[in-house]
Structure 1
Amino acid sequence: MIQISMPAAFRSTFGKGASRQLRMKEFTPAVVYSGGSAAMALQFETAVLYKSLLEVHGRNVIVTLKIDGDDKAERHALVKEVQKDPVNDQVVHVDFLEIALDNPAVFAVPLKFVGTAKGVDLGGELHLLKNKVQLKGCPVDIPDNVEVDIQDLARGDSLSFGDMKLPPKVEMLDDAKAVCVSVF
């Protein structure tokens, strides 16, 4: 899984008006939710946050938060939600979910289909039935995507989740018999 690092600072002002003033000063408000403890209100420099979010758009990524004045040197989190302004598409608020790198979690990992199926070259049609797979494992063991080689698929053939090669220490939660791609 991809890992990025972002600097942050605690924020002491809350509410709609305070968040607007923060955005006018080129900062974006954010919240880090943790399993058993209270949520932390943070602020990020808008330019740094925006650049980091562009790199990881739509992907599972471990964000290492380096928070000024925090008792922990680093906190690891996942991007839970990014709120954007509907008019100008600017990032308005970000929610993070704190994780432990050694605790297993469930992730939806995209499938990457590699090659061109033989059946498609002979006039068949490729049907993608699933584009993600549910995997369970420690965040550092989860791949960015799962490659599925479809070159050997002839007309009438299909591949199921059980045909995929997964890294060690990672468990698939989807039904191994479920079909993810077929050629007709």
Structure 2
Amino acid sequence: MKVFELKGKSRAIEARSSAQKRSLKSLRKNKELPAVLYGGNEVVHFSITSDAVRGLIYTPEVHLVDLEIDGKKRMAIVKDMQFQPVTDELLHMDFQEISADKPVVIEVPVALQGYAEGVKAGGKLTLRMRKLRVKALYNNLPEKLIINVDNLGLGKSMQVGELTFEGLELMNAKNAVVCTVQLTRAARGAAAAAAAGK
């Protein structure tokens, strides 16, 4: 899995009040974002620049974050992001600290590989789930979950329960459909013509 390097500086937290609102407003005015790191021995409040996280949030890829706060390095993952509902501007980020001996739950992108039998017969391959939730030690996390669809026939689908990946536990519902080969109008017409010709 790719590692994204990010630097931040710790910040003091005022009690929820107008002083805190002013502090957050001035932080955002300077193109900085409030962020919180959970999961370690303490909750760390810090700030990062909006430009520094652009490559981390506007990508379909999943990254581990090599986070440096006031010179102290920690490994983390992005746990949550809050956006302004109208402008879609990023307002806040939550990170979770991770360690080599504790499993982490994260969404990993799905990539389909192969040429499905159903597509050869005129069907259309559709990816229903672009990401799957996995639980694993961060050293075992892949950049993508590669699923081979060569044997997927016309009108058939592949569910989460049919998939296995070494060192990973899939957390989605077992009956959730990951991909399917749908019958197209042309395939239906060909099947009807073949049935009528018999």
- TM-score interval, normalised by the smaller of the two chains: 0.7 to 0.9
SS in 2 for 1:32: strand
Deviation at 1:158, TM superposition (A): 4.1
TM-score after normalising by structure 2: 0.73
Q: State the shift of 1:75 in Å.
A: 0.9
User: Equivalents in 1 of 2:127, 2:167: separation in Å?
Assistant: 27
Scaled by the length of structure 1, the TM-score of the pair is 0.78
Q: Which residue of 2 aligns with 1:39?
A: 43
Alignment of 1:118-137 (within 5 A): 118-128=117-127, 130-137=129-136
Q: Which has the higher helix share?
A: 2
Count of residue pairs brought into register by the alignment? 177
Question: 5 Å matches for 1:109-124?
Answer: 109-124=108-123
Counterpart-to-counterpart distance in 2, 1:160 and 1:22: 45
Q: Give the partner amino acid of 1:170.
A: L
Counterparts in 2 of 1:52-63, with a 5 A limit?
A: 52-54=56-58, 57-63=59-65
Deviations 1:94-118 (A, max 9, x none): 1111111331223333321124423
Counterpart contact for 1:13–1:19, Cα < 8 Å: no
How many Å separate the matches in 1 of 2:35 and 2:44? 8
Query: Structure 1: which 5+ residue stretches go unaligned?
Result: none
Task: Give unpaired runs (5+ residues) of structure 2.
Answer: 15-19, 184-198
Moved more, 120-129 or 38-47: 120-129
Cα shift readout 1:15-54 (whole Å, capped 9, x = no counterpart): 221011011122211111125x332110112221224333
8 Å CA contact retained: 1:159, 1:180: yes
Q: Map 1:8-157; keep pairs closer than 5 Å.
A: 8-12=8-12, 14=14, 15-35=20-40, 37-54=41-58, 57-68=59-70, 73-128=72-127, 130-157=129-156
Q: 1:48 to 1:177 in 2, by over 3 A?
A: closer
Aligned-partner SS, 2:86: coil
